[in-house]
């Protein structure tokens, strides 16, 4: 799903028929943990794109992680491993917001410096 997001902007691609095996081995908790870990991958991707001052990729990642955070707010995790991971999503949103701000500022500084030359 991460590769699909990077290539086409789609988080939930269709599973090819050749990969469907008909075994139901995923429970809700595992699924949510996987989705949350996916958000952490988006955070790492955005940080790497930040080094290239790619604000558009950072903003796309930020919106995706914010959407996930909004969806996860509807759950009541109590004091479980999922709660700690959900808290990590909140920190990822904050980090991505800060990163987007800093990259935008760096781009504006670079544009201003070019304008003065």
Q: Any idea what the Cα angle at residue 31 is, between residues 27 and 36, rounded to 5°?
A: 150
Instruction: Give the count of alpha carbons within 13 A of 41, CB side only.
Output: 13
Q: What is the pLDDT of residue 77?
A: 82
SS3 14: coil
Give CB contacts under 8 A, 24+ apart, made by 7-13. Answer: 9/60, 11/38, 11/64
Query: Which pLDDT does position 74 carry in this prediction?
Result: 85
The predicted structure's pLDDT at residue 68: 93
pLDDT of residue 7: 73
Cα 81 → chain centroid: 19
pLDDT value for 117: 56
Low-confidence stretches of the chain (pLDDT beneath 50): none
pLDDT value, residue 99: 97
pTM summary value: 0.74
């Amino acid at each position: 799903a991460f590769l699909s997001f990077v290539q086409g902007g789609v988080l939930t691609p269709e599973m090819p028929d050749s990969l469907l095996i008909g075994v139901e081995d995923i429970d809700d908790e595992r699924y949510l943990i996987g989705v949350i870990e996916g958000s952490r991958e988006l955070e790492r991707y955005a940080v790497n794109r930040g080094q290239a001052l790619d604000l558009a990729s950072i903003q796309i990642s930020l919106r995706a992680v914010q959407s996930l955070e909004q969806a996860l707010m509807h759950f009541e995790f109590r004091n479980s491993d999922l709660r700690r991971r959900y808290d990590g999503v909140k920190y990822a949103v904050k980090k991505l917001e800060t990163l987007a701000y800093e990259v935008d500022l760096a781009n504006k500084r670079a544009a201003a410096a070019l304008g003065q030359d």
